[in-house]
Amino acid sequence: MGDKCLRKISSGLYTFQTYLKYIQETFTSENQNVKSLSYSTEHLARTLRRMVINPEEVIIPDAATQESLHTKLKSTKAWTEKITIHLILRDFTSFMEKT
């Protein structure tokens, strides 16, 4: 697998971490499953980052970006939470299938 692909996959996995954290906090009935998914995703992102020639080129959202996104997600109205969760998981599944 090319270095560019590894960078892109690792960056994408790091980006999904904030979304998975939101799902874990919101979708409490599946907390353990989402926690496991989040841990595995972070582990995979770190592993792939170590395989990249220049690991610093992997884009990891900074704390301010993560907090801003998290705040935006948390402001979602209750009636749209399930739709938001569904869309995040669908996008995550699509991302994983494509990679």
Residue with token string 């993560």: 66
d(CA 45, CA 19): 15
pTM, two decimals, is: 0.82
pLDDT tens-digit profile of 1-18? 688 999 999 999 999 999
Higher-scoring residue by pLDDT: 25, 13: 13
Domains along the chain with CATH numbers: 3-98 (1.20.1250.10)
Question: Which amino acid is located at 3 in the chain?
Answer: D
Q: According to the per-residue pLDDT averaged within each range, which of 15-19, 31-35, 70-74 is highest?
A: 15-19
In the prediction, which pLDDT does 1 show? 63
CA pair distance 42, 79, nearest whole angstrom? 29
- Asked whether the beta carbons of 70 and 22 are under 8 A apart, the reply is yes
* Whole-number average pLDDT of the chain: 90
Taking the C-alpha atoms of residue 18 and residue 22, their distance in angstroms, rounded to an integer, is: 6
49 is written with which tokens? 């980052």
